[in-house]
Amino acid sequence: MKHLGREHHVYVLEPESAPAITIESGEELMVETWDAFVGERDPLVLEASLLKGPATGPIAVSEAEPGDALKVEFLSITPKEVAAHMVMPGRGFLAEEFPEGYPTLIQLDAGDAVLPSGIRIPLMPSMGLVATTPTYRQETATDSGPYGGDIDMKELVAGSTMYLPVFVPGGMLVLGDCHAVVGDGAVAGTGAECSADTLIRVTLEKGMNLQGPRALTPDYFVVLSYGDDLGPAMKQAVRSMVDFLVKEKGMAPYDAYTLCSLAGDVRVSRTFRPISPVKMMLSRNALEQLG
């Protein structure tokens, strides 16, 4: 099995960049990622810290071309070391009420994230940043788009599969920003940021012509949208799910819209950033009945 260490990391996606590694379609790869703070755990340093958001890669897939898609299966996600949460000045839902930086170190023990208070939260490691490289220069942290990006989707756990459009030759996939646990919205600014070893399998899907990211998690089929205004972004996520059900599952439009209302959820992964990712989630139980 091939291995890609976290010393091969980037902060910017560049269309003309060289790959850190090239793999064949269907090949498995162990990817080591930094946490969002690049390993910094000194509380005094964290208090003045800004998220850096490195991503390991880029990973090129042989014969991937624009119009194709990469199918990324997350076979395992294993958090490493001590996790860190940070109330970030100027970010989060209550930024005006909590203006100061406030770091919390979180121990990982026996399947739980353990807070300094002793409260234990079951680990649910998820990959926060998954992206192919777009045709323009893009920072890895803070934003999301049709290429994926900093999506902070807590459902993207081991056993999940993500589909990402290919925009440049090779696809140039990157991973990073693992969370040992995080809530929808990451309301104080971050999750339990941790480094990780993640085993993936990447398969090239020729001519799939995806318009944006999709994911199949253990419980949901998910389409992702994004925008600087949550209202339109949420509408687009619902529209994308309805379009999927009509065009790819053969449902009548009103029936598809009804199913989304009864067996779907529209949620915000995080906000108070320039671009906020939105997810429309449909129960896999309902989806699998459509064949």
Per-residue pLDDT of the chain (291 residues; tens, 9 = 90+): 899 999 999 999 999 999 999 999 999 999 999 999 998 888 878 776 667 889 999 999 999 999 999 999 999 999 998 999 999 888 888 989 999 889 999 999 999 999 999 999 999 999 999 999 999 999 987 788 999 999 999 999 999 999 999 999 999 999 999 999 999 988 998 999 999 999 999 999 999 999 999 999 999 999 999 888 888 889 999 999 999 999 999 999 999 999 999 999 999 887 666 677 899 999 999 999 997
Return the domain boundaries, the chain: 2-207, 220-288
Confidence at residue 227, expressed as pLDDT on a 0 to 100 scale: 81
> What is the amino acid identity at position 70?
L
Residue 50 confidence (pLDDT):
66
Q: Which residue has the tokens 């893009």?
A: 138
In degrees and rounded to multiples of 5, residue 45 shows phi and psi of -75, -40
| DSSP line for 97-113 | T--S-EEEEEEEETTEE
| Top-tier CATH class for 220-288 | alpha beta
Indicate the pairing of strand 173-179 with strand 120-122.
Answer: unpaired
Q: What is the pLDDT of residue 53?
A: 86
Determine the pLDDT at residue 42: 86
Q: Considering the domain 2-207, what is its CATH architecture?
A: Sandwich (2.60)
Res 275: pLDDT = 73
pLDDT value at position 271?
Answer: 67
Considering only CA atoms, which of 236, 242, 244 is closest in space to residue 268? 236
Q: Determine the pLDDT at residue 45.
A: 80
Judged on CB neighbours under 10 Å (0-12, 13-18, 19+), 7 is exposed
pTM: 0.94
- For residues 195, 201, 206, 212, the Cα torsion angle rounded to the nearest 10 degrees is -30
> First and final CA of the chain: distance in angstroms?
34
Name every residue whose Cβ is closer than 8 Å to that of residue 265 and which is 6 or more positions away in sequence: 220, 280, 281
